[in-house]
Structure 1
Amino acid sequence: MTRQEKGQLIEELTEKLSNTGYFYVADASGLSVAETNAFRAFCYEKGVEYKVVKNSFIQKALEKQEADFSGMFDSLKGFSGILFSPEVGNAPAKVLKEFRKKHDLNKPLLKAAAIDTDVFVGEEHLTYLSELKSKNELIGDVIALLQSPAKNVVSALQSGGNKISGLVKALEERAQ
C-alpha cells in the first residue's frame, strides 16, 4: 500500500468517524474464517457496518476528530475491527452479545466504544451499552409519560359517566 493510498484510507475513516455518532472497536482475533464471515453477515443483517482496520489508521483518524478520543488509544493493540452504527448507539453492543450467544462463543470482545463523545473502554461495559435506549425509545417513553395523566383523566371521566347515568336511571325507576 502506497503512502497516498494510506492517506486516502485515513481520510475516509476520518470522515466516516465524523459522520457516525456511534462506533465500537472490537477484537475478533481467534475466530475462524467461517465464524468471521458469519459475524460480518450478522452485522449486515442488523444494519451495523464492520470493517477491519489497522490500529495506527484508527488512531490517526481519531486524532483528527473534534472530540477527544485519546482514552481509546490504549485499547488499539492487536487485532481491531470497527463497528459503525449510523443511528442506534446500542446496536453494535447488541450485535456482539447476540452473535456470541447464537454461536456459543466468547468472541468478538469489546475493546472500546464511542457514543457521541463519551468513551467506554473495556469488555465490562458491553452489557451496559447493550441496554442503553435508543433516541426513538427514549422519545417513546417521554410520550407515554406525557400521555399517562391524560389517559387517566379520560378513563375516570368515562367510568364516572357510566355511574352517573346508572344513578339517574335508578332514581327515575324509583320515581315511577
Structure 2
Amino acid sequence: MSEAAIAKKAEIVKQTVELLNNAESAIVVDYRGLSVAEITDLRKQLRDADVHMHVIKNKVLDRAVEGTDYEDLRDTFVGPTAVAFSDEDPIAPAKILKKFADDHDQLSIKGGFIEKEVKTLDEINTFATMPGRDELLSMLASALSDPMRKIARAVKAVADKENEAA
C-alpha cells in the first residue's frame, strides 16, 4: 500500500475521531434494506434537527474508538453501518432514529453513546421516548406559571372584596 493511501486512511480515521469527540451523542444503525428515498427522508429529518448521519467503514470506526471510552461500541461495527452524530441535543438522534425504525423495519439501532457515555439498547430506547429539551422547558414554564396565576387570582379576589366593602 502506498504512503499516500496510508496517509489518506489515517486522515479519515482522524476526522472520525474528531466527530466522536465533538459529539454529545452518536447512534450506530444498520440501514440495510432501506431504499434511497427512505434514506434521503431519514437524512432530511436528522438534518432538520442538526444531526448528521455518516456511513463509515467498520474498520475506520474500529480504529477511531481504539483507546477511548467508546471501545464498547466495537461489537456494533458489523455489516452496513451508519452513525448519527449530534453536537447539541444529545437525545435528538435517538428520538428520530427510534421513530424512523418503528415505521421502517429495515432500520435497526445497534448501539451508541449519549452525553459521552456508552448506552445499552434499552437505555437508548428509554432516552428516545423521553420528552425533548423544548418539551421539558415548556412543561417547566407551565409548572412555574401555574402557582403565579393562583397568587394573582388570590390577590385580585382580596382587592375585589376590599372594593366591594368600601
TM bin, normalised by shorter chain, reads: 0.7 to 0.9
Contact 2:46–2:96, Cα closer than 8 Å, also in 1: yes
Give the equivalent residue in structure 2 for 1:109. Answer: 108
Spell out the pairing of 1:105-144 with structure 2 (5 A cutoff). Answer: 105-122=104-121, 124-135=122-133, 137-138=135-136, 141-142=139-140, 144=142
Q: Give the 3 Å change call, closer, same or farther, for CA 154–12 of structure 1 in structure 2.
A: same
Which residue matches 1:70?
71
The gaps in structure 2 that reach 5 residues or longer are: none
How far apart are residue 139 of structure 1 and its match? 5.0
Deviation at 1:50, TM superposition (A): 0.7
Q: Return the match for 1:42 from 41, 45, 63.
A: 45
The TM-score with structure 1 as length reference comes to 0.76
> Alpha-carbon deviations, 1:131-159, whole Å to 9, x = none?
23445554555555455444432332122
Match of residue 32 from structure 1: 35
Q: Structure 1 residues 68-77 or 6-15, which shifts more?
A: 68-77
Q: Kindly, what percent of the aligned residue pairs are identical?
A: 26
2:54 corresponds to 1:51: yes
**Structure 2: which amino acid aligns with 1:157?**
V
Query: Structure 1 149/113 Cα, relative in aligned 2: closer, same or farther at 3 Å?
Result: same
Q: How big is the shift at 1:69?
A: 1.7
| C-alpha deviation, 1:25, in angstroms | 0.7
Change (3 A) 1:34 1:4: same
Aligned counterpart, 1:97: 98
Q: Does 1:152 align with 2:157?
A: no
**Letter in structure 1 aligned against 2:48:** E
> Which one-letter code corresponds to 1:47 in the other structure?
D
Contact 1:14 1:64 survives alignment (8 Å): no
The gaps in structure 1 that reach 5 residues or longer are 170-176
Find the aligned partners of 2:48 and 2:60 in 1 and give their Cα distance: 27
Mark the structure with the bigger radius of gyration: 1
Amino acid paired to 2:40 = N
